[in-house]
């Protein structure tokens, strides 16, 4: 046993992968078992280490009986090296994927009960402005009392942030990903609902609706509707089957919210118990599936074991890069964003020329740079072209000063934690595209200040202002330099932020 972070004892390793290891530990202060997820040491001093810690803090804000609780996150020394860690609730009953593999599909009433509880936890996260992005049976754990718990809120995204792992990790979870994720489009709470629907489908039928290589699966998500479970001989109530098929609609606007899923499945529940999981941990021996798995195995139709979340290592890169290129042809250039490739340069960039400092998928950028998947930038129009060839005023003019001040006020409010003011300084159209205040302002939780290093340069054309410049964003754990373009529009005599495009981002 090893003492760690002054209060924890690491008893044994219960999971390992290319990015992190998970230990069963004990909190000596509160005398309770915990799962300690430790980032591999060579990542601790890098950007991915900062993201890992930030995502741990994000997950710690969630408190719900159907979400694995995060207790602590930080850095400490292990085996003579500085490491980043996250301490979580220990869930001893395994995950839903293992349960389906061992026990088979769930009856209609038990499926409704399990799905209702998972959707309740997901709805809580969405209310807090947190999008999971990786709902799948592997991330639905079963506790010792048979209660399902969602895990890995954002942690998987933090682990997938490096150039080396983004492609492999995304291909590994394509089995449950929404069409908009695979096309590199805006990821919202409805994307989580799609993935939940796919997970419930697998729990009902015993297997996922689409099969084949990851590329074939991704293409089917975009272009094909799954067969109704009843057509495959599965005995589900009409309400449960209809709900599952509603969740996996191609258009996000046609899917229910997580709260609606919870309510509809709750109405379908006919028993108190929600799963057939035993009341004691079913796994014993050296590798219990007690908590989040850094490298969960995918179904046989997907990549070989270890491909998920970068577990395949360097020997998998040529295959995965080729797969990404093929999917780019199948689904269009917008798909590149789903694999961590800037869609604006995907047609000309070569894999060997990609640099770690190149622009990443904006859905995984740190706070303050518009990082949340609910805040799309990569697919936005070229805002610099607005007003080109028309009469404009450069920074300092009487017309440009109010627009510049409005942008400054927006970020001052965000850094001061005045999120209502920050949200109200966005245009109505921008608010509608984002979806909710929490989805936008959640990104500012670590922002301390934002200052212009270059600019701002403001051009005004009628009711539109284009601001360009280079900012220094100071966060609690890191500082970054962003080259960006902001578009503001005049609404009711006030300038409102209407779009933000970051063309280059560097940690400093």
Please give the positions annotated as active site.
Answer: 134
Token digits of residue 109: 């009433």
DSSP letters, 292-327, are --SSPPPPTTSSPTT-GGGTT-GGGHHHHHHHHHHH
> What is the distance between the alpha carbons of residues 485 and 469, in angstroms, rounded to a whole number?
7
Non-local (6+) Cβ contacts of 42 within 8 A are none
Handedness of CA 190, 191, 192, 197 (dihedral sign): positive
Non-local (6+) Cβ contacts of 448 within 8 A are 415, 474, 475, 476
> What is the distance between the alpha carbons of residues 505 and 508, in angstroms, rounded to a whole number?
10
> What is the distance between the alpha carbons of residues 14 and 25, in angstroms, rounded to a whole number?
10
368: helix, coil or strand?
Answer: coil
155: part of which helix (H) or strand (E)? helix 155-159
Token digits of residue 93: 């009953």
DSSP letters, 3-21, are EETTTEEEEEEEEE-SSEE
Q: Cβ of 472: how many Cβ atoms within 10 Å?
A: 15
> What is the distance between the alpha carbons of residues 359 and 344, in angstroms, rounded to a whole number?
10
| Residues 255 and 105: beta-carbon distance below 8 Å | no
| Residues 115 and 196: beta-carbon distance below 8 Å | yes
């Amino acid at each position: 046993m090893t003492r760690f972070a002054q209060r924890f004892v690491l008893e044994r390793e219960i999971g390992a992968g290319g990015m992190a290891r998970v230990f069963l530990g004990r909190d000596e202060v509160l005398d309770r078992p915990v799962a300690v997820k430790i980032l591999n040491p060579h990542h601790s001093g890098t950007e991915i280490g900062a993201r890992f810690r930030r995502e741990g803090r994000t997950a710690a804000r969630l408190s719900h009986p159907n979400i694995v609780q995060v207790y602590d996150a930080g850095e400490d020394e292990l085996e003579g090296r500085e490491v980043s860690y996250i301490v979580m609730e220990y869930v001893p009953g395994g995950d839903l994927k293992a349960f389906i593999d061992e026990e088979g599909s769930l009856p209609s009433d038990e499926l409704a009960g399990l799905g209702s509880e998972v959707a309740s936890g997901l709805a809580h996260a969405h209310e807090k402005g947190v999008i999971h992005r990786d709902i799948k049976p592997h991330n639905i754990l079963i506790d010792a009392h048979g209660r399902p718990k969602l895990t890995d809120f954002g942690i998987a995204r933090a682990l997938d942030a490096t150039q080396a792992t983004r492609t492999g990790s995304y291909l590994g979870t394509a089995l449950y990903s929404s069409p908009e994720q695979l096309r590199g489009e805006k990821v919202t709470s409805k994307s989580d609902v799609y993935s939940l629907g796919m997970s419930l489908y697998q729990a009902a039928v015993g297997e996922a609706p689409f099969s084949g290589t990851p590329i074939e699966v991704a293409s089917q998500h975009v272009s094909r509707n799954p067969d109704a479970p009843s057509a495959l001989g599965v005995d589900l109530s009409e309400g449960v089957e209809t709900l599952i098929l509603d969740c996996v609609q191609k258009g996000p606007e046609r899917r229910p919210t997580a709260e609606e899923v919870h309510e509809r499945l709750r109405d379908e529940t006919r028993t108190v118990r929600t799963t057939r999981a035993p009341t004691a941990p079913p796994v014993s021996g050296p590798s219990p599936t007690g908590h989040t798995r850094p490298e969960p195995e995918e179904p046989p139709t997907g990549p070989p074991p270890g491909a998920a979340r970068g577990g395949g290592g360097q020997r998998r890169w040529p295959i995965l890069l080729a797969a990404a290129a093929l999917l780019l042809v199948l689904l269009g250039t917008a798909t590149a964003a789903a694999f961590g490739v800037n869609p604006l340069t995907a047609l000309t960039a070569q894999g060997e020329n990609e640099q770690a400092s190149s622009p990443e998928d904006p859905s995984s950028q740190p706070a303050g740079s518009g990082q949340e998947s609910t805040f799309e930038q990569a697919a936005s129009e070229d805002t610099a072209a607005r007003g080109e060839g028309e009469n404009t005023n450069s920074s300092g003019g009487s017309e440009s000063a109010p627009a510049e001040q409005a942008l400054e006020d927006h970020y001052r409010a965000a850094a001061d934690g005045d999120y209502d003011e920050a949200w109200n300084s966005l245009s109505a159209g921008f608010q509608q595209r984002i979806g909710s205040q929490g989805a936008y302002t959640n990104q500012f939780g670590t922002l301390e200040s934002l200052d212009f290093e270059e600019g701002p340069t403001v051009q005004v054309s009628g009711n539109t202002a284009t601001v360009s410049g280079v900012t220094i964003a100071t966060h609690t754990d890191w500082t970054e330099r962003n080259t960006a373009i902001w578009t503001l529009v005049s609404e009711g005599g006030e300038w409102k932020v209407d779009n933000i495009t970051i063309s280059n981002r560097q940690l400093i």
